[in-house]
Structure 1
Amino acid sequence: SAGAAIDRVHARMGEWLRPGRTEAEVGADIAEAIVAEGHVSAEFVIVGSGPNGASPHHDVSDRVIEAGDVVVVDIGGPVPEGYHSDSTRTYAVGEPADPEVRDGYAVLQRAQRAAVEAVRPGATAQEIDTAARRVITDAGFGECFIHRTGHGIGLDVHEEPYIMSGNDLPLEPGMAFSVEPGIYRAGRWGARIEDIVVVTADGVEPLNTRPHELTVLGA
């Protein structure tokens, strides 16, 4: 499946992500691996290191990755059947330099889990967004979660249903969408956890199964 294919790329991140390399260099290796692991092409590769991780729509840049950086890696593309993958994991290159990262990341993990657990037929798109936002806001990071919780995915990377405040669309079995809350500390660091999930007859099935913990590389 598309989910398993992109999970295999995330599983290999330790091959490429290390101090002294630029985001662009790492991104080129990831793009090659996305194809090697079963995609037609790499539709998008975000490697947001250090302060660049605080920009949700960062691409790649010539910034050199440093020890202690937290790095947001958001990747995906189409598989031959036409369906798209899209998964984000956050990595630390050695122990995070910013002392706030560990606590903030633990909050993010709880928020993403709460949102996934809220998915079931009849729940609304807004309720899933609220489940994630409530955890982040209650922990004092509310102003650091600056985008919707998710978007539908299938033959297009972004489609209905949009998982956001104000969308009272009821979820139905078979709907597939991302659950991807983030915490962004401008100028410092960012983190995001994203899985694609499918609404089942009685709940939810995540299509991405890589661990949600902050993965410390080179440790």
Structure 2
Amino acid sequence: MSGILESVRDQSESDVSQGSVGVSPLGLNLQERAAAIDEERLNRDRLARLRVELSKRGYAGALFSDPINIRYATGTRNMAVWTMHAPGRYAFVGTDGPVVLFEFGSTLHVSRNSSCVDEIRVSTPWFHFLAGCRVQEKTETWATQVIDLLAGYDRSNRRLAVDRCEPWGAQLLIEAGIQLFDAQEAIEHARTIKTPDEILCMQLSVDVADVAIDRMRRALVPGITENQLWSILHETNIAHGGEWIECRLLASGERTNPWFQESSNRLIQAGDIVAFDTDMVGPFGYLADISRSFVCPGRRPTSTQRQLYETAQRQVLTNMELIRPGMEFREFAARCWPMPEEYIPNRYMMTVHGAGMVDEYPSVALMTDWEEWGIDGRFEENMVVCVESFIGKPGAKEGVKLEQQALITRSGAVPMSSTPLIDAIEA
């Protein structure tokens, strides 16, 4: 197996030396496009959208601990994956007031150049790893910081949106007379409509994913492991300024059905279906979320494999063609491609979901699941959505996963990926 991986790495090095890894499928240099992004305008416009949503709900401000929300609101990034489970930094966003970033310990210098942050203070982490037996003390210090900040900014409005807060911390804020609300609603709705710079960032991320998928396709040979193939996506993403992969969704052969097996050291065999979902947080922290399924070279696709692929392809293309600005989610679900009964038990849990920095609002359920999971809302211009399909019969050997990321324009949904979807199983 080491020989196969070395061959893949040699090809990757050849790509870099020839410059092809830095060129998108559109023939544009990815590094030049990344350098042309106006980050100050990007950050400023996102903060403005957030404040509109906070104002609509009558909030004095919002307190964010989720690193994705902090980045959207402030444009700052610091140890994002670690702080997802160890909330050592947080940010206060005044609806009509200051943006105060509480940065982690000795890392204050990391965020000093943010044009959206008015003040940087040292944070007080109050989770057990750092606080130990002093959790209560540190929680009280944290709460005092928040209470004093809100009181100093606006004594008349005690409505604070919060995205993540342990109950013992929330209780101290409530006892101080602060009313707590779910910040996720406001920020998800702010993030739903993409600014022009966000669309550029998302297209750049999808183009990086397309480069990676092309490299994965060329590296797919019998005997390579799922993990070895999956590593190419990570390497390409990081090399182009990307950040992380949300999941490990690459499977082959009998591991493709039902969906959601994570990549393993299984040896891929000739003729196996290989399916994956990129879930890739790329340059500038924006998501490229596309799924493709290929057949490993060395054996022609079977009639069953072709049927699975054609069925999944029909679901994605039919549903994407339906999307129009102003269409209600319920109407869309009712008009969606009718899934044959034999595939319903292993269906994907939604028809469409939003995309931005990660998977985002909305999540549009299948009509089958509407009573339990259906939500009100409508598609709007400049949303970015992902149209989903998984096709596999219960007990059958294999399944096919397809997903297309698309920008909703005035005339409908336009695919963002140039990686072939139509008849790609034969490519």
Q: Give the TM-score band, short-chain normalised.
A: 0.7 to 0.9
Residue of 257, 260, 268 corresponding to 1:54 = 257
TM-score by length of 2: 0.46
Q: 1:215 aligns to what?
A: 425
After TM superposition, the structure 1 stretch with the greater mean CA deviation from structure 2, 143-152 or 19-28, is 143-152
- How many pairs are equivalent? 214
2:308–2:392 Cα contact (<8 Å) kept: no
After TM superposition, the structure 1 stretch with the greater mean CA deviation from structure 2, 188-197 or 75-84, is 75-84
Q: 2:189 aligns to what?
A: none
Residue of 297, 306, 318 corresponding to 1:114 = 318
Question: 1:100 and 1:144 mapped to 2: Cα distance?
Answer: 17
Residue of 158, 163, 169 corresponding to 2:364 = 163
Unaligned runs of 5+ in 2: 1-203, 367-373
State the Cα deviation string for residues 109-162 of structure 1 (Å, max 9, x = none): 11110011011112233444455541x327x5344424212321102x221011
Q: 1:150 aligns to what?
A: 352
2:230–2:250 Cα contact (<8 Å) kept: yes
2:215–2:232 Cα contact (<8 Å) kept: no
Q: 2:381 aligns to what?
A: 173
2:212–2:232 Cα contact (<8 Å) kept: no
Aligned ranges 1:52-131 → 2 under 5 Å = 52-94=255-297, 95=299, 99-131=303-335
Deviation of the 1:19 alpha carbon: 1.2
Question: 2:277 and 2:215 mapped to 1: Cα distance?
Answer: 14
Q: 1:146 to 1:14 in 2, by over 3 A?
A: closer
Would you say 1:7 and 2:210 are equivalent positions? yes
**What SS does the aligned partner of 2:340 have?**
helix
What RMSD in Å do the two structures reach over aligned CA positions?
2.3
1:108–1:192 Cα contact (<8 Å) kept: yes
1:116–1:128 Cα contact (<8 Å) kept: no
Question: 2:287 and 2:211 mapped to 1: Cα distance?
Answer: 15
State the Cα deviation string for residues 159-191 of structure 1 (Å, max 9, x = none): 101121323411111111110111023451111
**What SS does the aligned partner of 2:255 have?**
helix
Structure 1 or 2: more helix by fraction: 2
Q: 1:102 to 1:172 in 2, by over 3 A?
A: same
Deviation of the 1:27 alpha carbon: 1.5
Residue of 379, 390, 393 corresponding to 1:182 = 390
State the Cα deviation string for residues 32-74 of structure 1 (Å, max 9, x = none): 1222344223333421101111132221112111111001021
**Identity percentage of aligned residues:** 26
Q: 1:97 to 1:70 in 2, by over 3 A?
A: same
Q: 1:80 to 1:116 in 2, by over 3 A?
A: same
Deviation of the 1:17 alpha carbon: 1.9
Question: 1:161 and 1:196 mapped to 2: Cα distance?
Answer: 14
Q: 1:34 to 1:126 in 2, by over 3 A?
A: farther
TM-score by length of 1: 0.86
Question: 1:189 and 1:128 mapped to 2: Cα distance?
Answer: 29
Q: 1:161 to 1:100 in 2, by over 3 A?
A: same
Question: 2:256 and 2:334 mapped to 1: Cα distance?
Answer: 23
After TM superposition, the structure 1 stretch with the greater mean CA deviation from structure 2, 38-47 or 183-192, is 38-47
